[in-house]
Structure 1
Amino acid sequence: MDVVRAPDERFANLPGYPFEPHWVDVPAPDGLMLRMHYVDEGPRDGQVVVLLHGEPTWSYLYRTMIPPLVEAGHRVLAPDLIGFGRSDQPVERSAYTYQRHVTWVVAWMDALELQDVTPFVQDWGSLIGLRIVGEQPERFARVMVGNGFLPTADRKAGRAFGIWRAFARWSPVFPVGRIVKTGTVTDVPKDVLAGYDAPFPSRRHLAGARAFPNLVPTEPDDVAVPANRAAWEALGRFEKPFLCVFGENDPILGRGDRPLIAHVPGAQGQPHDRIRGGHFIQEDAGPELARRLVDWMARTR
């Protein structure tokens, strides 16, 4: 497997991202190991909060949520998925599968012995995170979702998603910072956009980002569908607190909260909300999300 890694100097002095890097090794095909990067801030005896990013971002997306969560006394961890951020980046798109992403995140959690976890999941962070919650519910204390879902191929993907999938696969350019900008309702400064671009200095570094849209299981015969449907059934028995706070200006997932709230028992009676924000709700409303998460965790201890 051919693997690249974004140079360390590309992550120096990024605005709002002063966090020390940490790494663990996770297994790759053919017995290889890949280096997975993560942020780990706050007291080691604090309640564990895991922030899972999606496509095509990295832990930089959570830079405004991490400090207030730490200030509230929580241990906050934000991994970079394989192919993103400061983690290793296999060059071939075929190296990335839905199952491998789930396996990599579980391996990371196992390596750090994370239990009693409160995850915040969004976009592909929810495709991975909710699958793990369904498969290992005992590992989690509660779950918060923002603009995410767990697809089971029970409904057709919309036209907008089809266009996005085709763009990711065929476009000669894949401008990550500009893609993030189109998914927000607030103005994103140029230096912040450059922060989103930092992990992707060349086309060889973009394989994971280009692969993700085409890994979403939208057809019943997709190899990921049986495991996702089993996880969805398990979520229908998940009685621990489950909260949805979605950006209402997201044309694809802005209303994806409804089926989650209706399906998950733990969602009943929780302070769900839709707020001003696009798909990348963390960029639009990071401090507000952190405040809501802190308050909700305090009420559901």
Structure 2
Amino acid sequence: MRKFFLFTLMGLLLFSCKPYETTKIRKNQITYEDFRAEQRLYPTQDGLIKYIDKGEGPAILLLHGVPVSGWLYRKMIDPLAKKGYRVIVPDMLGYGSSDSPEGFEIYNNENHAKRILELMESLGIESWTHVMHDAGGLWTWELIKQDPDKIEKLVVLNTIIYEEGFYPPVRMKPGGFAKTAMWAYRNGVTTNTLLKKLFKEGLKENTLNPVDVEGYKTPLLEGKTDAMYYFFSQTCNDLPDYSEVFENVKVPVSVIWGIHDTMLQWPPQENRAANALGVRPEDIHFVDEKHFIQETKAQEITYKILDFMKK
């Protein structure tokens, strides 16, 4: 009987751990259903990729990281499109609304980069302004390695550059423990716990409501964890060195960084990164936030990107 009560208590604690702090819905708030309704399909040889293609004009690609999706950029898409840009926002394979096929190396940096290049080619976009966040940086460095002439301007948002600034909240060894953790994430056992921890570490103040969280939680409950498994059990333990790729970055670069980020820190790598990427001091901007700057500083980031693109 005592064990029964203990397991019941553990279950209540797990399922009552809500990853949002308010239930108040904002005016004209975007729902995940509406977001998905705007997504289009691109069939790769590895599986279907969902993406948003909105607006007309010079192209700008907004690339997410782990364990999120294009939903992270939902507040920036319309403002950029209304300013005369064609905004492309993919859900990378294994994330968001895109397929999550079984496999391991299918989710390595090389394959992620290859699929981005294929998507942009299918859209008839020869070059673009590239915005990336978190692990999207690794996929971007690999993209530049594969084809250095596609990106016209580069915007760095709290992304992975060097080991010195990389402090992931999760590192796992491949195997049973990591697979069990992924099972728990996608079956509702620790889904809320994961997200609550993520937002606690990634935001100065968690002001998300259930509509916001739905876009992060739904893909996990749909089973989108294989790509996460690869990242947490492989990439986090063996971070690639793209130093030689940085030497080939000859385009204008802007850095917009949440200065309170504990997972991806700018100060430990600032001189090395700024020099390697050739970033001018006036193109380095700090915002008063932690990791998920698109959630609370979308307007500020959008303005800074638009100013940079006009130069």
* Same fold by TM-score greater than 0.5: yes
8 Å Cα contact 1:37/1:87 also seen in 2: yes
Q: Partner of 2:273 in structure 1?
A: 260
Deviations 1:170-228 (A, max 9, x none): 536332643542212232112211221122224x4322223222332654xx7xx4xx5
Partners of 1:264 and 1:104 in 2: how far apart? 24
Partners of 1:157 and 1:166 in 2: how far apart? 19
8 Å Cα contact 2:109/2:142 also seen in 1: no
Once the two structures are TM-superposed, the CA of residue 139 in structure 1 deviates from its matched residue by 1.0
Once the two structures are TM-superposed, the CA of residue 270 in structure 1 deviates from its matched residue by 3.8
Q: Partner of 2:203 in structure 1?
A: 184
- Helix, strand or coil at the partner of 2:300: helix
Once the two structures are TM-superposed, the CA of residue 13 in structure 1 deviates from its matched residue by 4.1
Which one of the candidate residues 238, 246, 261 is aligned to 1:250? 261
- Helix, strand or coil at the partner of 1:51: strand
Which one of the candidate residues 272, 277, 291 is aligned to 2:284? 272
8 Å Cα contact 1:59/1:79 also seen in 2: yes
Partners of 1:179 and 1:86 in 2: how far apart? 23
8 Å Cα contact 1:50/1:76 also seen in 2: yes
Q: Partner of 1:149 in structure 2?
A: 160
8 Å Cα contact 1:16/1:64 also seen in 2: no
8 Å Cα contact 1:278/1:284 also seen in 2: no
Paired positions, count: 266
Deviations 1:246-281 (A, max 9, x none): 01111121315543212122x124421111112111
Q: Partner of 1:164 in structure 2?
A: 170
Query: Based on CA coordinates, which of the two structures has the bigger radius of gyration?
Result: 2
Q: What 5-or-longer segments of structure 2 have no aligned partner? A: 1-29, 186-190
Which one of the candidate residues 178, 193, 196 is aligned to 2:216? 196
How does 1:10-89 map onto structure 2 within 5 Å? 13-14=31-32, 17=35, 20-28=38-46, 34-43=47-56, 46-89=57-100
Once the two structures are TM-superposed, the CA of residue 23 in structure 1 deviates from its matched residue by 1.2
Q: In the superposition, relative to structure 1, how do residues 125 and 74 fare at CA in structure 2: closer, same or farther (>3 Å)?
A: same
8 Å Cα contact 2:51/2:90 also seen in 1: yes
> Which piece of structure 1 moves more, 168-177 or 283-292?
168-177
8 Å Cα contact 1:15/1:192 also seen in 2: no
Identical-residue share of aligned pairs (%): 21
Partners of 1:94 and 1:116 in 2: how far apart? 27
Deviations 1:133-179 (A, max 9, x none): 2432211111000101235xxx5786x53x51139925363326435
Partners of 2:96 and 2:294 in 1: how far apart? 16
Partners of 1:268 and 1:134 in 2: how far apart? 22
Q: Partner of 1:7 in structure 2?
A: none
Q: Which amino acid aligns with 2:209?
A: P
8 Å Cα contact 2:137/2:159 also seen in 1: yes
- Helix, strand or coil at the partner of 1:90: coil
Once the two structures are TM-superposed, the CA of residue 235 in structure 1 deviates from its matched residue by 2.2
The structure carrying a bigger helix percent of its residues is 2
Q: Partner of 1:214 in structure 2?
A: 233
Q: Partner of 2:26 in structure 1?
A: none
Query: Is residue 147 of structure 2 the alignment partner of residue 136 of structure 1?
Result: yes
Deviations 1:74-96 (A, max 9, x none): 00000000011111111344642
| Superposition TM-score, scaled by structure 2 size | 0.76
> Which piece of structure 1 moves more, 178-187 or 140-149?
178-187
Once the two structures are TM-superposed, the CA of residue 109 in structure 1 deviates from its matched residue by 2.0
Q: In the superposition, relative to structure 1, how do residues 244 and 89 fare at CA in structure 2: closer, same or farther (>3 Å)?
A: same
Once the two structures are TM-superposed, the CA of residue 123 in structure 1 deviates from its matched residue by 0.7
Q: Which amino acid aligns with 1:20?
A: E
Once the two structures are TM-superposed, the CA of residue 16 in structure 1 deviates from its matched residue by 7.4
Q: What 5-or-longer segments of structure 1 have no aligned partner? A: 1-11, 29-33
- Helix, strand or coil at the partner of 1:106: helix
How does 1:233-244 map onto structure 2 within 5 Å? 233-244=244-255
| Superposition TM-score, scaled by structure 1 size | 0.79
- Helix, strand or coil at the partner of 1:238: coil
Deviations 1:59-79 (A, max 9, x none): 110001111101110000000
What RMSD in Å do the two structures reach over aligned CA positions?
2.7
